[in-house]
Structure 1
Amino acid sequence: MRYLFDEYALDVDRRELHRSQVVVPVAPQVFDLLEYLIRNSERVVSKDDLISAVWNGRIVSDAALTTRLNAARSAIGDTGERQRLIKTLPRKGFRFVGAVQETQSRTVEPVGSVAHSSDTTPSRPIAPRLSMVVLPFVNLSSDPQQDYFVDGVTESLTTDLSRISGSFVIGRHTAFAYKGKAVDLKQIGRDLNVRYVIEGSVQRGGNRFRVNVQLIDAETSKHLWAERFDKPVADLFDIQDEIVSRLANTLDAELIGAEARRAERSSSPDAMDLYFQGRALENRGTTPAFMAQAKSLFVRALSLDPTNLEAAVEAAQIDQIIGSAYMVDDRATHLASAERTIIKVLTLAPNHPKAHMVLGLVQMFTGRAAQGVASCERAISLDRNLAHAHAGIGLGKLFSGLGAETEAHLHTAMRLSPRDTNLHLWMLFIGLSKLALHLDVEAVAWLRRSLEANRNHPNTHFHFAAALGLNGDIEEARSAVEAGLELDPNFTIRRYRNNAPSDHPAYLAYRQHVYEGMRVAGVPAG
């Protein structure tokens, strides 16, 4: 069967999309989505209809569905703005509105080829990026009554991993079919068509829980990451939430790294390959060099696929970081660019958690701290594991002259994601709050911890230098200045002074304290 529309032909039997005589490359799920929309072009199909038909009812995040829809539109020359062929009807669903003609498939053999009956055997589809299954965790305790707790960890982790942008997570009902069975992980990968398997165990001994987790490449059975941690027994629901939050946040970073390594092996990377490579660079540190490289990758991704919302969000975040980390004099240009991009994303995907968080940070650094806090709170309501949104609220409190309230929000972020790639920033924010309270000795301790976590953040070096200067440790302060200038040679007190994100009197008084520390430490005046 072939469906002809516009200048395209969708060949269902060969699973190919043609534009004139050229094959348009599409991912398997994007092909299935197009086929379903076209087959049902006489009616509006709901989000649940699509998930049931294309993903067999598995858990799929709104961001993942939006990404696949945008990829389908891009493949047929449509966009989310024009909606010439695929129409979104708010609160109803989607409909293919192009004129469609059905024909029988044509048998087309490449020049010089010889047809064989075995050629018709369909090959196994390529597993989607960020596709995974969470196998039921094993209860290693002697008490079978702990099964409900262990199963709860599995179910909650399945749900929370589905919130990762672009993820594809097998539903818990399918995963629980493997409970208590000896399993071949490669076979599971083939059966479920996923790239990754997550397995683990929970053991209760006395007043402690021990959790072991592994992330495994389903194609090779290679262990990509493993973690073990102990928790004292307290409220079981609180423990379950904390375990799941920690795992989801850590796995997010590990999965991004795994996908980036896959992408590096591609001779012709597509938009998502470039996106994952950009994310991995972003996680290394907020130096001008890393930010420029990551931004270039996101821009390339958007040039290949202008509808890639995830790349757009990350490109906006890079602009937000450049504008807020004193890397340039024209910070307003970068922050304005970030806000324009994020507002466009939220128009297309109003429930995108990270987009709300980035918007909140932009608002904070453009004199709208209260709005920024509200945007971060909205992000948390959409994704409870978005630890950096909690950190953003803490920073917003500092900008609002409420530095005494900052630390609690940062500790919440660290509890949710204790090994987060942003951990050094959260320690920096606590250090800033200590400076705001003139607790300069405590500020030195937190800023030192921040640098131990990641030395690739110039601002931390300069604030560390200021705190040391205020404490009279001039020699170490000047060494910190030198380290900061190696990462960002253009940083000056003038640039820092001219880019204050808030005019709250208490915040400005804190800044004056920092200026003095930087001056004593030897930061260039500019």
Structure 2
Amino acid sequence: MRYLFEEYVLDADRRELRRGAEVIPVAPQAFDLLHYLICNRDQVVSKDDLIKAIWNGRAVSDAALTTRINAVRSAVGDTGDIQRLIKTLPRKGLHFIGTVQETEEPASRSGILSRLGTKGATSASPPRLSIVVLPFANLSGDPEQDYFVDGVAESLTTDLSRISGSFVIGRHTAFTYKDKKIDLKRIGRELNVRYLLEGSLQRSGDRLRVNVQLLDTETCAHLWADRFDKLVADLFDMQDEIISRLANALEAQLTEQEARRSARSPNPNSMDLRFQATALLHKGRTPEYLGKARDLFQRALALDPENTAAMVGTAIVDLSLGSGLYSSDRTARLTMAEGALVKALSQAPNYALAHLVLGDLLILTYRAPQGIAECERALDLDPNLAGAHAQIGAAKFLTGRALETEAHMNEAFRLSPRDILAYRWLLYAGAAKFQLSADKEAVDRWQRSLEANRNYPITHFLLAASLALLGSTDQAKAAVKAGLTLDPNFSILRFRNGALSDHPTYLAMRERMYRGLRLAGVPEG
């Protein structure tokens, strides 16, 4: 959706604010704030409304809120005195008073996917079995239970992918709609889906009550609804029941291997800890969150040694720490991750996520062909697993086939256009461009990666190297400074020791990268 006011255009899908042909730089939260004010221009928006919509209800100081509001005013040429577009009503809130015209762009040009330059994206009309599972409402009256409610919605998203012929929007994209006003037709257009599943969960002691309903995004009709009241210990059986009924409502069939989950469910307490750990991973792959998540996964396994999802969770943590240069014991981390994955797959050979994570690990440890095979196996089990496409794309440039990378990244973004791991996918896309000596395009991809996550150190250094080779020395040094703030121990020697492939084309690319890092001022060793 695009919003036109005065000489400005706010493109919600591309997350861009333009004045004529000029792109106006806007920080992510300031952009979200402006977008929210425009979408709610028919009313006065209070401080509490803004905090709930932009910060998900987290505590925000008045000073921080004022700073974001001033940034929005500055971006659109407004001021606190003139208030041409954004009017402050004392003790009431803010009101966007500019005249706005709304226009739409074709779905194939939406979101990050279009910014990657994809060809032939989503079709004009949604696929028959296309669906998004929106975050469930927490009716427990306890905010501390949000992680559990989110975990149930995520599991349902995974299960829906088992429906033969389905197209399911990724969990991370779906959760960008959390705590926001639902406009069925708009969500259908934005994600190019025909159906929407929403619901609520109330947990009281050892019992769960879940309400779910299926809606048609084109007609807003309620197609199916039901309520489930079960013991927490029966959660996975309840999910099977929901999916089975939903499959019948959509005239689809579950794939044979996923018709029923294993008869044995994990210990409820173990499952609870696993949900908590997964919620931390969704907040970001930082050393702090990773450490806390690993502890929770380990506690889950102590209660239930056969909790396969928790095993894979520990592997994700160790792989993230080992491959992200966060840890000095890289080899030990990757070895532990591989051991956990082998054990998990011995218990659950058809666990798609385990195959994906193992594929990621193999790709990052000089075994790209085997890694690609694991990712392809993951896609056989779950065709909507966006990350598997991204990892195959990464493997392509590691094996000297960078021309093939972007098509895989485009497919990943098609399945989950607002994924929490978008920063990694864009990092891979930039590396492929750099390998092809398309340095300006590499800069574009890495800048977009930083827009998605500014706390991933390696992206700053890669960007610095490409900027230095392009002659933008001052910008390169600024990127190095930002990277060293996040990772003070980074050096060219450390980066050299972290090579992920011995393919000649890949190694030649790295030699160019070392030269760029030196020009940018990265410490040698």
Change (3 A) 1:404 1:272: same
Alignment partner of 1:462 is 2:477: no
User: 1:424 deviation in Å?
Assistant: 1.2
| Counterpart in the other structure of 2:404 | 405
Q: Aligned partners of 1:132 and 1:331: how far apart in 2?
A: 30
User: 1:357 deviation in Å?
Assistant: 0.9
| Paired residue secondary structure (2:522) | coil
Alignment partner of 1:519 is 2:513: no
2:511 maps to amino acid: Q
Q: 1:140-174, CA deviations, whole angstroms, 9 ceiling, x for partnerless residues?
A: xxxxxxxxxxxx9997799969999xxxxxxxxxx
Structure 2 residue runs of 5 or longer lacking an equivalent are 1-147, 173-197, 230-249, 251-267
User: 1:202 deviation in Å?
Assistant: 2.5
User: 1:499 deviation in Å?
Assistant: 1.8
User: 1:329 deviation in Å?
Assistant: 3.5
| Counterpart in the other structure of 1:431 | 430
Equivalent residues of 1:127, 1:195 under 8 A apart:
no
Alignment partner of 1:392 is 2:414: no
Change (3 A) 1:280 1:504: same
Change (3 A) 1:411 1:217: farther
Q: 1:323-378, CA deviations, whole angstroms, 9 ceiling, x for partnerless residues?
A: 21222343221111111110011101011111111111111111111111111000
Q: 1:49-70, CA deviations, whole angstroms, 9 ceiling, x for partnerless residues?
A: xxxxxxxxxxxxxxxxxxxxxx
Alignment partner of 1:342 is 2:335: no
Equivalent residues of 1:133, 1:198 under 8 A apart:
no
Equivalent residues of 2:457, 2:483 under 8 A apart:
yes
User: 1:278 deviation in Å?
Assistant: 1.9
TM-score (norm 2): 0.53
Q: % of aligned pairs identical?
A: 44
Q: Aligned partners of 1:271 and 1:188: how far apart in 2?
A: 19
| Counterpart in the other structure of 1:332 | 331
| Counterpart in the other structure of 1:130 | 152
| Paired residue secondary structure (1:270) | helix
| Counterpart in the other structure of 1:3 | none
User: 1:513 deviation in Å?
Assistant: 1.3
| Counterpart in the other structure of 1:368 | 367
Change (3 A) 1:129 1:499: closer
Q: Aligned partners of 2:465 and 2:329: how far apart in 1?
A: 24
| Paired residue secondary structure (1:197) | strand
| Counterpart in the other structure of 2:271 | 272
Q: Kindly report which structure 2 residues correspond to 1:65-464, keeping only aligned pairs within 5 A, or say none.
A: 130=152, 194-195=209-210, 197-203=212-218, 270-464=269-463
| Counterpart in the other structure of 1:258 | none
User: 1:216 deviation in Å?
Assistant: 13
Equivalent residues of 1:287, 1:458 under 8 A apart:
no
User: 1:525 deviation in Å?
Assistant: 1.8
Equivalent residues of 1:329, 1:495 under 8 A apart:
no
Change (3 A) 1:438 1:211: farther
1:303 maps to amino acid: A
Q: Aligned partners of 2:407 and 2:364: how far apart in 1?
A: 21
| Paired residue secondary structure (1:334) | helix
Equivalent residues of 1:360, 1:371 under 8 A apart:
yes
Q: Aligned partners of 1:445 and 1:494: how far apart in 2?
A: 26
Equivalent residues of 2:170, 2:386 under 8 A apart:
no
User: 1:270 deviation in Å?
Assistant: 3.3
Equivalent residues of 1:288, 1:488 under 8 A apart:
no
Change (3 A) 1:161 1:504: closer
| Counterpart in the other structure of 2:495 | 496
| Paired residue secondary structure (1:327) | coil
Equivalent residues of 2:318, 2:333 under 8 A apart:
yes
| Paired residue secondary structure (2:217) | strand
1:201 maps to amino acid: D
| Paired residue secondary structure (1:200) | strand
TM-score (norm 1): 0.53
| Paired residue secondary structure (1:195) | strand
| Paired residue secondary structure (1:432) | helix
Equivalent residues of 2:480, 2:521 under 8 A apart:
yes
| Counterpart in the other structure of 2:27 | none
Q: Aligned partners of 1:391 and 1:455: how far apart in 2?
A: 20
Change (3 A) 1:131 1:522: closer
Equivalent residues of 2:323, 2:364 under 8 A apart:
yes
Equivalent residues of 1:317, 1:358 under 8 A apart:
yes
RMSD: 4.1
Q: 1:376-407, CA deviations, whole angstroms, 9 ceiling, x for partnerless residues?
A: 00011001111001000011111111111111
Equivalent residues of 2:201, 2:210 under 8 A apart:
no
Q: Aligned partners of 1:283 and 1:163: how far apart in 2?
A: 10
User: 1:293 deviation in Å?
Assistant: 2.4
- Which aligned runs of 4 or more in structure 1 are off by greater than 4 angstroms? 126-129, 131-134, 152-164, 184-190, 210-213, 215-219
Structure 1 residue runs of 5 or longer lacking an equivalent are 1-125, 135-151, 165-183, 205-209, 220-243, 245-268
Q: Aligned partners of 2:400 and 2:509: how far apart in 1?
A: 9
| Paired residue secondary structure (2:494) | helix
Q: Number of matched residues? A: 311
User: 1:198 deviation in Å?
Assistant: 4.7
Q: Aligned partners of 2:221 and 2:516: how far apart in 1?
A: 45
User: 1:472 deviation in Å?
Assistant: 1.7
1:279 maps to amino acid: T
Stretch moving more, 445-454 or 471-480: 471-480
Equivalent residues of 1:285, 1:457 under 8 A apart:
no
Equivalent residues of 1:399, 1:501 under 8 A apart:
yes
Q: Aligned partners of 2:302 and 2:416: how far apart in 1?
A: 33
* Rg larger in structure: 1
User: 1:504 deviation in Å?
Assistant: 0.5
Change (3 A) 1:442 1:423: same
1:479 maps to amino acid: A
User: 1:297 deviation in Å?
Assistant: 2.2
Q: Aligned partners of 2:169 and 2:516: how far apart in 1?
A: 43
Q: 1:228-283, CA deviations, whole angstroms, 9 ceiling, x for partnerless residues?
A: xxxxxxxxxxxxxxxx9xxxxxxxxxxxxxxxxxxxxxxxx933233222222222
